[in-house]
Amino acid sequence: MIEARAMKASVRKSGAAIWQLLPILFAVLLLSSLIVPAIPQLIHQGFLGNGDLIDSLGTAVVGSLAAGQPIISYLLAGELQEAGIGLMAVTAFIGAWVTVGIIPMPAEAMVLGWRFAMIRNAISFMLCIALAWLTVVSLHV
Amino acid sequence: MSENTEQQPQPKAKRRGAGLWFLLAMLVIYGLVAIVDLDYARQGMHSFVGMIKTLLPALLLVFVLLIAFNLIQGIQQKLAGVTGVKSGVKGWWIAIIAGILSHGPIYAWYPLLGELKDQGMRPALLAAFLYARSIKLPYLPVMVHYFGLPYTLVFSFYIVLFSVVNGWLTGWLLAKGNSKIPAGGFSK
């Protein structure tokens, strides 16, 4: 049986976590709502829409540099896809966001060593392209 | 999402502060865009309200899942704790499952990972744990909302698979340059 005290603590902790997330969430949605209308223009002007691989590399770089909860990447990626970005590029973006951590790398290196952190993140970056390709291919099989 | 306030009070406060600054910056940018092109800003705001409306049900589900995950936090720490050096295939499974079940900012997990490393946990398993953390069970409803269930399942499957690849490669490359580090093979 779950104790009432544990449940109360859990609700409070979860509420605090959501509360903490809200400003970032609103900010990202505001950012998305400004960027998304411009995506078709970007595709038209050639910044995106250069093929799955080139687009995926670009979005993976952006995803690697980004920091924040994975939920933010889902939101951004979802809106980017709605705006016409290909599923592979969108998946590479999510993959890089959730698996590559350039921003927390110094902290990771402090605890686990620079060599570990750099090798792990470099491999994660390379794998996110494969992850995107395999995900899209598997869905279309 | 569960923050370990006893161990890491500063990052939590910093993140909240950073989030508020980010939000403030976005509001300022919105204001500037509205001055330059009111129609564009209005279109963006309309889109923003739409996004919030569609996201709310998924966020509610996230909240419920977070409550459940906070209730089983002790189990997660036990799982991470038994990922020993000679754990073999079992160690990989435990590292991956612990990674999937772990939630909250990575900063909160570094002290535990550092301790496990000092106790002799293989770098390969540490890397697998960190890669598997990419699956955030409480947030998956949002991914399902945007991309559908098949996409979410396939993506999550490959994350699990690649956590082994990532762990193995990391362990192997680290061991190549340092004979003191055990290789990241499946068994020792």
Tens of pLDDT along A14-43? 888 778 778 877 887 788 788 766 665 665
Identify which of B174, B173, B77, B178 has the alpha carbon closest to the alpha carbon of residue B129. Answer: B77
**What pLDDT is stored for residue B13 in this prediction?**
59
Q: State the average pLDDT over residues B22-49.
A: 90
**What pLDDT is stored for residue A41 in this prediction?**
63
In chain A, the number of structural domains is: 1
Token pair of B111, please? Answer: 């002290």
**What pLDDT is stored for residue B24 in this prediction?**
92
CB–CB contact B166 A14 (8 Å): no
- Residue B183 or residue A94, greater confidence: A94
On whether the CB atoms of residues A59 and A90 are closer than 8 A, the answer is: yes
Count of helices and strands (H, E) across chain B: 8, 0
Residues of the domain holding A63: 4-140
Query: Which position has the token pair 């411009």?
Result: A38
| pTM: predicted TM-score of the whole model, two decimal places | 0.71
On whether the CB atoms of residues A116 and A51 are closer than 8 A, the answer is: no
Task: Point out the least confidently predicted range of A66-80, B70-84, B97-111.
Answer: B70-84
The count of other CB atoms within 10 Å of the CB of residue B145 is: 18
CB–CB contact B106 A101 (8 Å): yes
On whether the CB atoms of residues A55 and A85 are closer than 8 A, the answer is: yes
Residue B4 lies in a domain: no
Q: In whole numbers, what is the pLDDT of chain A averaged over residues?
A: 83
Q: Give CA–CA dist B131/A120, Å, rounded.
A: 9
Q: Give CA–CA dist B172/B48, Å, rounded.
A: 46
**What pLDDT is stored for residue B185 in this prediction?**
40
Task: Point out the least confidently predicted range of A61-65, A106-110, A112-116, B45-49.
Answer: A106-110
A12: nearest CA partner in chain B:
B67
Structure confidence by residue, pLDDT tens digits, B130-177:
999 999 888 899 899 989 999 999 999 999 999 999 999 999 999 886
Structure confidence by residue, pLDDT tens digits, A101-136:
887 787 788 788 889 999 999 999 999 999 999 999
Q: Which residues of A touch B107 (CB under 8 A)?
A: 104, 107
CB–CB contact A33 B169 (8 Å): no
Residue B187 lies in a domain: no
Q: Give CA–CA dist B22/A141, Å, rounded.
A: 41
Identify which of A101, A99, A102 has the alpha carbon closest to the alpha carbon of residue A129. Answer: A99
Residues of the domain holding B80: 9-177
Tell me whether 0.90 is exceeded by the ipTM.
no
In chain B, the number of structural domains is: 1
Interacting residues of A52 by C-beta distance below 8 A, sequence separation 6+: A86, A88, A89, A133, A136
CB–CB contact B47 A36 (8 Å): yes
Identify which of B152, B126, B186, B132 has the alpha carbon closest to the alpha carbon of residue B58. Answer: B152
User: Cα–chain-centroid distance for residue B159?
Assistant: 12
User: What amino acid occupies position B65?
Assistant: L
Identify which of A118, A50, A115 has the alpha carbon closest to the alpha carbon of residue A89. Answer: A50
**What pLDDT is stored for residue A62 in this prediction?**
84
**What pLDDT is stored for residue B156 in this prediction?**
96
